[in-house]
Homo-oligomer: A and B are copies of this chain.
Amino acid sequence: MERRLAYAMVGGGKGSFIGPIHRMAIRMDDLADLVDGCYTHADDWRAMLERAKGRADFVAVCTPNDSHHEIAKAALESGFDVMCEKPLSLTLAEAEELGTIAERGGRKLGIPFTYSGFPMVKAARDLVASGELGAICKVVLEYQQGSFRKIDLTKPLDKRNKWKMDPTKSGPSCVVADIGVHGFHLIEYVTGLEVKSLLADLSSFAPGNRLDDDASILMRLGDGGAKASMVVSKVATGEENGVRLRVYGDKASLFWNQESPNYLSVKYPFAPERIYKRKAPYMLDVSEPSVAFTRVPAGHHEGFIEAFANIYREFCAAVRDRGEHDYPGAREGVRTMRMVEAALASNAAGNTWVEVRG
């Protein structure tokens, strides 16, 4: 049996959405024990890190965006592996610094871009890699949320929306940094292609919001001329968490919808559409990982916590064996911040093409 790990948490206390998710995800596979935490008072997390030395293997950072960099940096420098909420930092420079620190110190740095933890997203990636879709020419990704349309304008903003709209807490981008990074990661993860450049058109539609809450981003991928069109929004009224990914190759296309996450549709020009289903017997031939990363039988649904637990399963494997595993790490944290900065630059320049460095 594998060694049980120990971890400490910063942030993620009362009222937090994501803190409990981290804890449930870690418990699901009984990966690690929570040995210390600093859930509410941001001022004493340094003392907590000190206490946790020798007792915790890794630190989970679940605070608002503006403290990600500082806390993650301190934790890495204290010798902890770190799972840090996205976006990794407010600026690209900070993300790059974290990446460098982790690499130099031999520390593991994970970022829970949860969607690549879904079994059928892994199946999508493996189908693309196997050549089933042929050469990829186009990706269409929507990430539609209506959270900024649930705000009662006659009342003070709730805590969560408040910091998301606040540049001092959120950094220079809201929707692109908050959920655009998920979309971007999904595109690169599934296609295996790097985004080379982008053209972004950002908007601020929610009353009182000065940051971007809606974005249309065109992208160029890889060296073969592939393109992507990504729409992300927090003002998509009535949408809950509409992550919809369509990948078009010259032989077939695929569609995955986070709101029905256990299925993956593949369409062919000359054959019936196929609905691949999580953990069905034939999935072993299509994508072994899509089967390995499930916990309940076919037909019995898995959701967000299970996907999150998959990220942690791989991260904890890396913490134990110090090897490479299938979780979003420093590279993905830096890549997504490069995208954020490119999007802001493109928008500021009147929607021009901006390079996304490799």
Copies of this chain in its oligomeric complex? 4
Min CB–CB distance A50 → chain B (angstroms): 25
Q: Is the CB of A237 within 8 A of B28?
A: no
A242's nearest neighbour on chain B, judged by CB, is: B299
Partner of A218 from B27, B216, B225 at Cβ < 8 Å: B216
Min CB–CB distance A1 → chain B (angstroms): 13
With A281-B269, A299-B242: A351-B218 Cβ-Cβ less than 8 Å: yes
With A253-B238, A259-B299, A273-B238: A24-B17 Cβ-Cβ less than 8 Å: no
Chain A interface residue count, CB cutoff 8 Å, equals: 82
| Interchain CA distance A303-B299 in the complex, whole Å | 10
| Interchain CA distance A21-B57 in the complex, whole Å | 27
| Interchain CA distance A298-B300 in the complex, whole Å | 19
Partner of A248 from B236, B258, B306 at Cβ < 8 Å: B236
A interface residues (Cβ-Cβ under 8 A, vs B): 17, 20-21, 23-24, 27-30, 133-134, 137-138, 140, 142, 144-146, 149-150, 199, 201, 203, 205, 214, 216, 218, 225, 227, 229, 231, 233, 235-242, 246, 248-253, 258-262, 266-277, 280-282, 295-306, 350-351, 353
**Chain B residues in 8 Å Cβ range of A258:** 299-301
| Interchain CA distance A179-B258 in the complex, whole Å | 28
29 interchain pairs, CB-CB under 8 A: A27-B27, A27-B30, A133-B237, A134-B237, A137-B214, A138-B214, A140-B144, A146-B253, A150-B269, A205-B250, A233-B248, A235-B248, A236-B246, A237-B249, A237-B252, A237-B269, A238-B269, A260-B260, A262-B303, A270-B282, A272-B274, A272-B276, A272-B277, A273-B274, A273-B275, A295-B305, A296-B304, A300-B303, A301-B303
